[in-house]
Chain A
Amino acid sequence: MKYFTYILRNARRNPVRTGLTIASTSICLFLMMILLSFFAMSAEVASASRIFNRIVTMNANGFAGMLPVARVRQIAAMDGVVAATPFQWYGGKYHDEVMPFAQFGVDADVVFDIIDEFTVPPDQLADFKANRKGAVIGRKLAKDRNLKVGDSLPLKGDIYPVDLDLVVSGIYDGPNNRDLRMCLFHFEYLDEALKQTAMAGSGGSLTTEAARRSGNAGSIFVKCRSAEMMTDLCRRIDDEYRSTEFPTRTQTEEAFGQMFEEMMGDLKNTVYWIGAAVVVSLLFVAGNAMAMSMRERTSEVAVLKAIGFNKGLVLFLVLTEAVLVAGLGGAIGALGCKFLCDFVDVARFSGGFLPFFYVPWNTALLGLGVSLFVGFASGLVPAVLAANSSVIDGLRKVV
């Protein structure tokens, strides 16, 4: 520890170079945090949903498939189920913006018992349940769009040939790592509207797609009584409907979340490759800076060795300096990015693409670890060269 001052002084001797190395490292680490967090975050959120004991049922062929709404009641009656709600993606336009935020048709009576990490003031919730055109929106969505309780929220159908005239009857809040940008409304409201268009549009014949779409729950969110029952329930639900016209695929909310991540396919690898390229490039940049420093200090190292510093100590001094500089850069980049995302709601600027964004702790720590590794690896060659340098040559050398 007594050499710490010496190392610090060395690092500060060429402030421009050290500053540039730190800046370079921190920028690259900042970038890496953004790249990695996108996937790390969805994985963390998916596994964090485990404690809620929820499972999700959808058509076995995917989202586009039919899932009769009668099954919500059938599933809710199953043993081990607390409650079930349809969760139907509406995907409407708001002020002609396509897909501005997620909108779901749900069962107003139970949805907040199922997604119980969301809180709604009791009077607002009662109002929502009573009002057929009511909707409850997330706190962040309300803030983005400057919506208050009582405001109207007209949505134009995109997937469905019906428009919805919703009224904000409540605003839900919840943990920051949950989607606080959703709009939840009465499933019945959408379903009734769909039935009417089918009648009017084609003279009562129920062969149009619109008619088939009414009565479709989209997906069903189910709250189970305990964690142990989830796997069993998934299997029981799928068995129940296996030989029907619309077989189902039921999975835990965690697996459901992972499914979206899985769909990203090669994008994930591409992002990882870019992250790796950035790390390798940092090795060159930081290694170069350290090597340049040591070249300038050749005669000093010779003096150190001449007055009795042994090889190991010289190695240690150089390596520590390298790790210190890169580590500082990493700390600024990785932790800076984490706190920036915690403090500023960056997801707002993604145009509805991300409901929330944050840097998970394990990603931030990984970034810090990477920077320490970069420091160590980049200092290794200069340190070994310095440790093995000849005292006579070093003393003789004029830089």
Chain B
Amino acid sequence: MIPFKYNIRNLRARWKTTLMTVAGTALLVCSSCVLFGLVDGLEHSLTVSGDPLDLIILRKGASNEVTGGFESKKADELLELNGIQRDEDGPVAAKELLNIAMAERLDGTHNNLIIRGVQPASRKLRPDFQIVAGRDLEPGKGECVVSRNLSRFYKGARVGGILDLGEKEKYRVVGVFTAGGSAAESEVWADLKDVERNTGRDGSVSCVQIRAAGLADMDQLQKTIEDSAQFKLSAIPEATYFENQSKSSLFLKGAGTLIAVLLTFGAMFAAANTMFSAVKSRTREIGTMRALGFSQRDVLISFLGESLLLSLLGGALGLLATLPLSFLTIETSNFNTFSSVTINFRFGPMVMAVALIMTVVMGLFGGMLPALRAVRLEVVSALREL
């Protein structure tokens, strides 16, 4: 076995080439990691959103809260059903009304925002709802609270500002909230009655959210809501609902994978290039090692190891470079409802897996051909080489 120190020293002796290769591959790894960190962030926001006991009730046939409106009268009856969890304030259930309206970003461009008219229990139905600045809204006063992510991007969305969504829809921002990284973090919350009045849609709701008291109650509730003539609505477990929503991130994921694969190939060729010239310039050394008695396998392992080490440096550097991005939040439009969605970069298992896979692939495949070439060298002619 050729000592590993040999490879480390070699990389150090050719430090300029090593540095260039590492910098090149690090950038490519970093780009892929950023993409997957964003895809992961998007998916994460959808998986943490659903509590296993929560049901979301929509009109039959509707696949989304934004499109799932039904009569308010039915919604009131829903809130009275048995099997809903209750606490000191009454049932843990809320009618909600969603509106999509155009708002202006700080840079003057526009995007659609989701304004959710909520009831007090809505807060309990979200994971870890917290007011992080200002105070919570008071019903009936035209006030709203804005998610922390959105408050950084939109005009008038900070505490004390006025969120202008059109002639009749203006809300005074009194607080900023977070909701455990869930989908609610891309929304503006106002009082249900205010939204009803401002959008002229009193008498209808977009959805009803309820938390069942237990698993058996949940089944019972689902059956009642779906089948009884009184309702004929669809009750979807929240986890399932968000799973369906994440299908829209599938395209993003597919595109991200394609990009990562292409970048991996690019990085692989760069590593191969470096290793080929490493082998070439060391022909005589390889001959000497073989003459000293190191086997073909030893040489192969040594050069593959060097290639892996080289790409490991690149991969590690690329991964490290994404660390400061943990605070990166991008705001874009979702392709389902054409409304704003904020995505937090998430440095999680997905990013690490991407970096690891890229590193191993470019190290092994990039190093394989050069290493094989080193192995196949004739000892005598290699020693004769200048």
Most buried by B among A17, A24, A287: A24
Docked-complex contact A266 and B59, CB < 8 angstroms: no
Q: Is the CB of B21 within 8 A of A284?
A: yes
Q: Tell me whether B109 and A262 are in contact (CB under 8 A).
A: yes
Contact B111 A60 (CB under 8 A): no
Q: Which residues of B contact A281 (CB under 8 A)?
A: 23-25, 27-28, 31, 266-267
Considering the complex, give the chain B residue whose CB is closest to the CB of A26: B266
Residue B49, interface by CB 8 Å: no
- Among the stretches A107-115, A142-150, A201-209, A221-229, the one at the interface with B is A201-209
Q: Does A263 touch B at the CB level, under 8 Å?
A: yes
Which chain B residue lies CB-closest to A202? B71
Contacting pair B270 A35 (CB below 8 A): no
Q: How far is the CB of B24 from chain A (nearest CB, A)?
A: 3
The stretch of B62-70, B123-131, B172-180, B297-305 that contacts the partner chain: B62-70
Q: Which of B24, B71, B276, B333 contacts A284 (CB 8 A)?
A: B24
Which B25-68 residues have a C-beta within 8 angstroms of A? 25, 27-28, 30-31, 34-35, 38, 59, 61-64, 66-67
A327 to B67, alpha carbons, bound, how many Å? Answer: 51
Contact among B273, B276, B331 with A266 in the assembled complex (CB-CB below 8 Å): B331
Q: At the interface, yes or no: A399 with Cβ under 8 Å from chain B?
A: yes
Interfacial residues of chain A within 256-309, with CB under 8 A of chain B in the complex: 259-260, 262-267, 269-270, 273-274, 277-278, 280-285, 287-289, 291-292, 296
Whether the pair A60, B251 counts as a contact (CB closer than 8 A) is: no
B2 within 8 A of partner (CB)? no
Instruction: Say yes or no: is B236 at the interface (Cβ < 8 Å to chain A).
Output: no
The one of B35, B59, B169, B265 that contacts A161, using a Cβ cutoff of 8 Å: B59
The distance in angstroms between the C-alpha atoms of A265 and B104, with both chains bound, is 11
B376 an interface residue at 8 Å Cβ cutoff? no
Of B30, B110, B273, B336, the contact of A288 (CB 8 Å cutoff): B273
Residues from chain B with Cβ under 8 Å of A27 in the complex: 262, 265-266, 269
Instruction: Let me know if A98 is at the binding interface, CB within 8 A.
Output: yes
- The reply on B133 being an interface residue by CB < 8 A is no
> CB-CB contacts of B297-333 with A at 8 A, as 1s and 0s?
0000000000000000000000000000000001111
CB of A74 within 8 Å of the partner chain:
no
Q: Are B31 and A270 in contact (CB under 8 A)?
A: no
User: Is B259 engaged at the interface, CB distance under 8 Å to the other chain?
Assistant: yes
Contacts A61-B102, A161-B61 given; does A265 touch B201 at CB 8 Å: no
Contact of B17 (CB < 8 Å), options: A264, A265, A292: A292
**Residue B151 at the chain A interface, CB threshold 8 Å:** no
- Cβ proximity bits B261-281 to A, threshold 8 Å, 1 near / 0 not: 011011101101110110011
Instruction: Report B153-188 CB contacts with A as 1/0, cut-off 8 Å.
Output: 100000000000111010000000000000000000
Q: How far is the CA of A135 from the CA of B102 in the complex (A)?
A: 31
Is B16 at the interface (CB under 8 A from chain A)? yes
Residue in A20, A91, A209, A264 whose beta carbon sits within 8 Å of that of B201 in the complex? A209
Q: In this assembly, does B209 line the interface, its C-beta being within 8 Å of a C-beta of chain A?
A: no
| Number of chain A interface residues as a range | 35 or more
Report the minimal beta-carbon distance from B205 to chain A, rounded to whole angstroms.
9
| B20 contacts A288, C-beta separation under 8 Å | yes
B105 within 8 A of A: yes
Counting CB contacts under 8 A, is A116 at the interface?
Answer: no
Q: Number of residues in B with C-beta < 8 Å to the partner?
A: 72
Q: Are A270 and B38 in contact (CB under 8 A)?
A: yes
B102 touches A289 (CB 8 A): no
Known contacts A62-B101, A208-B203; decide if A274 and B35 are in contact (CB<8 Å). yes
Counting chain B CB atoms within 10 Å of each CB, the highest count among A23, A157, A284 belongs to A284
Give the distance to chain B from A350, nearest Cβ to Cβ, in Å. Answer: 6
Report how far A63 CA is from B333 CA in the complex, Å: 14
Contact B333 A291 (CB under 8 A): no
Indicate if B292 sits at the interface (CB-CB under 8 A). Answer: no
What B residues does A266 contact at CB under 8 A? 330-332
Out of A23, A60, A269, name the residue touching B167 (CB < 8 Å): A60
Most buried by A among B27, B265, B330, B338: B27
Give the CA-CA distance A353 to B48 in the complex, in Å.
Answer: 25
A275's closest neighbor in chain B, by CB? B31
Q: Does B204 contact A (CB under 8 A)?
A: yes
Q: How far is the CB of B242 from chain A (nearest CB, A)?
A: 14
Specify the chain B residue showing the minimal Cβ separation from A24: B269
- Tell me, in angstroms, the Cα distance from A117 to B251 when the chains sit together: 30
Residues of B within 8 A of A350 (CB): 251
Residues of A within 8 A of B265 (CB): 23, 27
Q: Does A164 contact B (CB under 8 A)?
A: no
Inside 8 A of B71's CB, which chain A residues have their CB? 201-202, 208
Given known contacts A31-B263, A91-B67, A353-B335, is B23 in contact with A63 (CB within 8 Å)? Answer: no
B147 within 8 A of A: no
CA of A163 to CA of B59, assembled, Å: 13
Contact A61 B332 (CB under 8 A): no
For B277, what are the chain A residues with a Cβ–Cβ distance below 8 Å? 17, 292, 296
Asked if B1 is an interface residue, CB under 8 A from chain A, the answer is: no
Please report the C-alpha to C-alpha distance between residue A273 and residue B259 in the assembled complex, in whole angstroms: 14
Interface: B215 (CB within 8 A): no
**Closest CB pairs A-B (n = 6):** A284-B24, A266-B330, A281-B27, A61-B166, A263-B333, A209-B204
- 25 contacts across the A-B interface (CB closer than 8 A): A28-B266, A34-B258, A60-B102, A61-B102, A61-B166, A63-B100, A91-B67, A156-B61, A163-B61, A207-B202, A210-B69, A212-B201, A245-B200, A262-B109, A263-B340, A270-B38, A281-B23, A281-B24, A281-B266, A284-B21, A288-B270, A291-B17, A291-B20, A292-B277, A399-B386
